[in-house]
Chain A
Amino acid sequence: MHEILIEEKILAKNDEIAAENRKALARNNIYTINIVSAPGAGKTSLIERMAAELGSLGVRFAVVEGDLEGDFDSRRIERHGIPALQITTGRACHLDAHQISHALPWVFERPIDLLVIENVGNMVCPAEYDLGEDMMVTVMSTTEGDDKPLKYPAIFSASEALIINKTDLAPHTDFDIDRARENALKVNPYLRDLVQDRRRGERMGRIPCRACQGKREARWIAQGYIYRA
């Protein structure tokens, strides 16, 4: 009998492809964000609102949509004049780096500064799969519980930013925005930017945009606040 020492990450292969994606995207001067949330938290609506805002700032972007079935989301995005590619994952509950690598030729045909990947609506599985993005953003909405970070810690822990969405509905729910923020920071003390979406808010959140560096930062359509943790 032999014992063979392996000592490697289970998802080493995914991580390898993700690293290649990241390099290729950087070579093309594209900043990439991977948006994750539970179904219905408002990922697609958020991206739709980015269209007008980023368009007026001259930031060109494209969207890769991940869903189990159908092209409903990519069609919604295209209506705003934003190129969108739909990936259907079949029964898989998350996008992986391999699927994104196949989308990259399509991405590189387009002159863009920013790539937005909308992951499958799921707060569990996408946490483990690096796609090669620069920033993973979790969206949670006020129609969910403010204890969500404590119940789904892996996804909050893997994210660099959090957007709290549907804050206009907060008065009608028992969602406490400060408590949600506190919970998120408990799970992920490194979470630097907490962006709060306010449909009619005045302040804009920002995301860094490598392509825009030195000129301006790409503005985040979330119409919210960034908290510096």
Chain B
Amino acid sequence: MHEMSITKSVLEAVKREMDRAALARLYKVRLRIGELTAVEPEALRFCFEISIKGTPFEGAALEIEEVPLTGLCRGCASRFRITSFDNTCPGCGSTSIDRVGGTELDIISMEGA
């Protein structure tokens, strides 16, 4: 399980931003997690919660925006959700597509005071 090391990286970035803005309290952290990553949002929530327990961050909420695996057709430019790894464009039937979503592992923002 590497959700713990992911959590550690998140909290390092959060701490850096809080120091920079001279904030003392953390209310919320927003993440963006793609469907095709090896990160399980529930496990991440659990790790986040136990990591902030007893620290100045205790009580902060974790908001996870999950991004579905998304394809962009090179032929007809339609954007579609890829289900069951079927890379066929529902618009024109082409299989020449680019993956444009689903591998994100980002920190979007944080709220603090």
For the complex formed, measure the closest distance between the CB of A189 and the CB atoms of chain B, giving whole angstroms.
Answer: 6
Assembled-state Cα–Cα distance A202/B37 (Å): 37
- Decide: A14 near B9, CB < 8 A? Known: A6-B108, A7-B108: yes
Total chain B interface residues with beta-carbon distance under 8 A: 33
For the complex formed, measure the closest distance between the CB of A51 and the CB atoms of chain B, giving whole angstroms.
Answer: 31
Q: Mark A141-155, 1 if CB is under 8 A from B, else 0.
A: 000000000101111
Contact A128 B105 (CB under 8 A): yes
Which of chain B's residues have a CB closer than 8 A to the CB of A9?
A: 105-107
Which of chain B's residues have a CB closer than 8 A to the CB of A153?
A: 36, 85
Contact of B2 among A6, A93, A189 (CB under 8 A): A93
Q: Mark B83-110, 1 if CB is under 8 A from A, else 0.
A: 0011100000001010000010111111
- Decide: A128 near B37, CB < 8 A? Known: A10-B13, A92-B5: yes
Which of chain B's residues have a CB closer than 8 A to the CB of A93?
A: 1-2
Contact A3 B9 (CB under 8 A): no
Contact B85 A150 (CB under 8 A): yes
Among B1, B85, B86, B112: residue with most chain A CB under 10 A: B85
> Is B65 part of the binding interface, using a Cβ–Cβ cutoff of 8 Å?
no
Q: Give chain B's interface secondary structure class.
A: mixed
Contact A186 B87 (CB under 8 A): yes
Q: Give chain A's interface secondary structure class.
A: mixed
Contact A13 B37 (CB under 8 A): no
For the complex formed, measure the closest distance between the CB of A116 and the CB atoms of chain B, giving whole angstroms.
Answer: 22
Contact of A6 among B6, B87, B103, B107 (CB under 8 A): B107
For the complex formed, measure the closest distance between the CB of A44 and the CB atoms of chain B, giving whole angstroms.
Answer: 22
Contact B106 A10 (CB under 8 A): yes
> Is A60 part of the binding interface, using a Cβ–Cβ cutoff of 8 Å?
no
Which of chain A's residues have a CB closer than 8 A to the CB of B38?
A: 124-125, 127-128, 152, 154-155
Which of chain A's residues have a CB closer than 8 A to the CB of B9?
A: 10-14
Contact A10 B1 (CB under 8 A): no
Contact B1 A125 (CB under 8 A): yes
Contact A13 B12 (CB under 8 A): yes
Contact B23 A7 (CB under 8 A): no
Contact B13 A6 (CB under 8 A): yes
CB-CB nearest 3 A-B residue pairs: A125-B2, A154-B38, A186-B85
Taking beta carbons and an 8 Å cutoff, which residues of A are in contact with B?
Answer: 1-14, 92-94, 96, 124-125, 127-129, 150, 152-155, 157, 186-187, 189
In the complex, 27 of the A-B residue pairs with CB atoms within 8 angstroms, ordered by the A residue number, are A1-B111, A1-B112, A2-B111, A3-B111, A4-B21, A4-B110, A5-B108, A6-B109, A6-B110, A7-B108, A10-B6, A10-B13, A10-B105, A10-B106, A11-B9, A11-B105, A92-B2, A92-B5, A93-B1, A94-B2, A124-B2, A125-B2, A125-B38, A128-B2, A128-B39, A186-B87, A189-B97
